[in-house]
Amino acid sequence: MPVHPFIFIVIFFILYDYFFGVSEKERAEAQKPFREPKDNTLREEHLAFLERYLPALKTYDQLKLKEFQYRVRFFISNVHVIGVRTKVTTEDRLLIATAAILPILNYSNWFYPNLKVVFLHPTTMNIQGKRVLGLVGEGIMKNKMLLSRDALFHGFNYTSDKHHTAIHEFMHLIDMADGTVDGVPEVLMDRKEILPWLDLMHQRLRNVLPVYDEKRKFTHREKAEELARLAEYFFEKPLELKSEEPELFKALEKLFAQPKNPAV
Ligand SMILES: [Zn+2]
């Protein structure tokens, strides 16, 4: 019996979607508007827990602390955290949400459009032979983040090494949200501020990259990595960065502290 071409096409599309496409469920999920949290404040014990890991919270004024709690709740209501061979705890969720909110705390209208799920791994991950602590990306990684719990806690526990994997990965997502991965987080910046920022980034790259060749063009990847590393440094050791690189510190302070003017 000959196969009707229509049936063939339908089967082809079903199989194509199954193997290469996004599932209906994922598609519907991606189109859903953000969900408002049921509660705007954190439980007392959860706030106390966060204050242990982020002592700066104690210096926030009432308004800022209120905003912080609401945004952490908002993150938890909108991003799934799935444990990979581990059970996700409330503490895990609170710390992941805190790392996500810190860079965007003063941008009350902005939330990650490119993140739906965080896959939490207990220790390091081995991806194509490489030891990985955190990962975001495009393609199969779209809307996803892989994160190591060890690295998450290390970031909050040890500030002296200036490493904070979770903040690093969230910074990449902010950078990627404008469609290009280039170390210029346009979603958080006014257009007129981008040029001086690029100059500073180039200057900094010249200083930190071991071999600098005048003709060298920095790749987007190098700039994106530098932005993510600077954000770690800024949130872990602000005073050290301020004394080492005052201009960059000022630029970062402006980037994270000044709300974007929607009219620009
Ligand atoms: Zn990176």
Query: How far, in Å, is the centroid of ligand 1 from the Cα of 158?
Result: 19
Query: How far, in Å, is the centroid of ligand 1 from the Cα of 122?
Result: 19
Query: How far, in Å, is the centroid of ligand 1 from the Cα of 168?
Result: 6
Greater confidence (202 vs 87) lies with 87
Q: Where are the domains of the chain?
A: 24-257
Query: Confidence band (pLDDT; 50, 70, 90) for 16?
Result: very low
pLDDT for 20 equals: 44
Place of tokens 């966060």: 50
Whether 151 has a pLDDT exceeding 60, the answer reads: yes
Rg (CA), the chain: 21
Helix residue ranges per DSSP H, the chain = 5-19, 24-31, 44-53, 62-78, 90-101, 149-157, 165-176, 194-208, 220-236, 238-244, 246-257
Query: How far, in Å, is the centroid of ligand 1 from the Cα of 171?
Result: 9
* Contact predicate 211/189, CB 8 Å: no
Query: How far, in Å, is the centroid of ligand 1 from the Cα of 130?
Result: 14
* Contact predicate 98/176, CB 8 Å: no
Query: How far, in Å, is the centroid of ligand 1 from the Cα of 225?
Result: 5
3-state secondary structure of 212: coil
Query: How far, in Å, is the centroid of ligand 1 from the Cα of 9?
Result: 42
Q: For 80-136, how does the pLDDT look when each residue is reduced to its tens digit (9 = 90+)?
A: 999 999 999 999 999 999 999 999 999 988 999 999 999 999 999 998 899 999 999
Query: How far, in Å, is the centroid of ligand 1 from the Cα of 136?
Result: 8
